[in-house]
Amino acid sequence: MSLDFSTDKKLLVTFSLAGLADIVFLLLIFFLLTSSFIPQFGIQVNLPRTDSSALTDAQYISVIITRDGTYYVEQTPVTRSELLDAVQRSLNGRSTLVLRADEDATVGQFAAVASIARALNLRFLMATERDTGRLP
């Protein structure tokens, strides 16, 4: 008695891409969700709220004024008298200055940063947070 193990069926040469497509789809969703986060700065300030707000970018010089009146240029604390020199040192070809001032900062502090931006011929923007409610 001899056993015949041969079959008339051809070997399956192709394979299904369904599993690979599922993995790629999950990776795509993961990267879309994680890349949409807005970067948070290390210095906490309460930004004023407006109807619209613009995202800041790495091409901007960041100046921060905290609630207690401390100035930061690119995350480095500086005094008001050192502010001009610190902004000049961090120019590196950038042409826009973004002020992130606490809503309790004074007009004098705002004016000091705005005058430095004007003296250095920089475009001046003030960062705000989008107001979720209607303004009165």
Nearest CA among 66, 50, 60 for reference residue 129: 50
Given this model, what pLDDT does residue 56 score?
A: 45
**pTM listed for this prediction:** 0.56
Domain containing residue 64: CATH number: 3.30.420
Residue 136 lies in a domain: no
What pLDDT is attached to residue 37? 58
**Residue 39 forms part of a structural domain:** no
pLDDT tens-digit series, residues 90-130? 888 888 899 888 888 888 998 999 999 999 998 888 887 76
14-47 in b/e form (b: 16+ CB < 10 A) is eeeeeeeeeeeeeeeeeeeeeeeeeeeeeeebee
Which has more confidence, 48 or 89? 89
In a domain, 98, yes or no: yes
Residue 18 inside a domain? The answer is no
Per-residue pLDDT reduced to its tens digit, 49-100: 666 555 445 688 889 999 888 999 988 999 999 999 999 998 888 888 998 8
What's the domain count of the chain? 1
Q: Tell me what pLDDT residue 59 has.
A: 80
**For residue 109, how many other CB atoms are within 10 A of its CB?**
19
Show the domain range for 96: 49-130
pLDDT at 77: 92
Q: What is the pLDDT of residue 78?
A: 93
